[in-house]
Amino acid sequence: MAGLDPAGYRMAPLIRRLPACLRALRVPSIAVAKDLLTRQPPKLQLAIDALLIGTSSFFRDDLVFEHLADEVIPAMVARTGKPRVWSAACSNGMELYSVAMMLADHAALSLKQLLGTDFRSEAISEAERGIYSPEAASGIPPTLAKRHLIRGKASVAVAPAIHASVRWECRDLLTDSDPGPWDMILCRNLAIYLESGVVAQLWKKLRAALAPGGVLVVGKAEKPRLNGLTQVGPCIYRKHPVE
Residue 87 CA to residue 175 CA, distance in Å, equals 16
Say whether the peptide bond before residue 234 is cis (omega within 30 degrees of 0).
no
Residue 57 CA to residue 168 CA, distance in Å, equals 17
Domain count, the chain: 2
Q: Are residues 234 and 138 located together in one domain of the fold?
A: yes
Q: Are residues 74 and 36 located together in one domain of the fold?
A: no
Torsion angles phi and psi, residue 208, rounded to 5: -65, -30
**For residue 3, what pLDDT is reported?**
46
Residue 223 CA to residue 199 CA, distance in Å, equals 10
Q: How confident is the model at residue 2 (pLDDT cuts 50, 70, 90)?
A: very low
How many C-beta atoms lie closer than 10 Å to residue 77's C-beta?
18
Average pLDDT over the chain reads 88
Q: Are residues 41 and 69 located together in one domain of the fold?
A: no
**Segment 94-132, tens digit of pLDDT:** 999 999 999 999 999 999 999 999 988 888 999 999 999
Q: Are residues 112 and 164 located together in one domain of the fold?
A: yes
Burial class (CB in 10 A: 0-12, 13-18, 19+), 39: exposed
**Segment 134-184, tens digit of pLDDT:** 999 999 999 999 999 999 989 999 999 999 999 999 888 878 766 689 999
Which residue from 73, 59, 71 is spatially nearest to 183, judged by alpha carbons? 73
**Segment 176-228, tens digit of pLDDT:** 766 689 999 999 988 877 888 888 889 999 999 999 999 999 999 899 988 99
Structural domain including 152 reads 62-239
- Whether residue 51 contacts residue 13, with contact meaning beta carbons closer than 8 Å, is answered with no
How do 210-217 and 236-239 pair as beta strands? antiparallel
Q: Are residues 130 and 215 located together in one domain of the fold?
A: yes
Q: Are residues 47 and 161 located together in one domain of the fold?
A: no
Q: Are residues 148 and 224 located together in one domain of the fold?
A: yes
Which three-class secondary structure state does DSSP give residue 149?
A: strand
Q: Compare 47 and 8 and report the one with higher pLDDT.
A: 47
Which residue from 176, 187, 233 is spatially nearest to 210, judged by alpha carbons? 187
DSSP string over 94-111: HHHHHHHHHHHTTT---T
Query: Whole-model pTM?
Result: 0.81
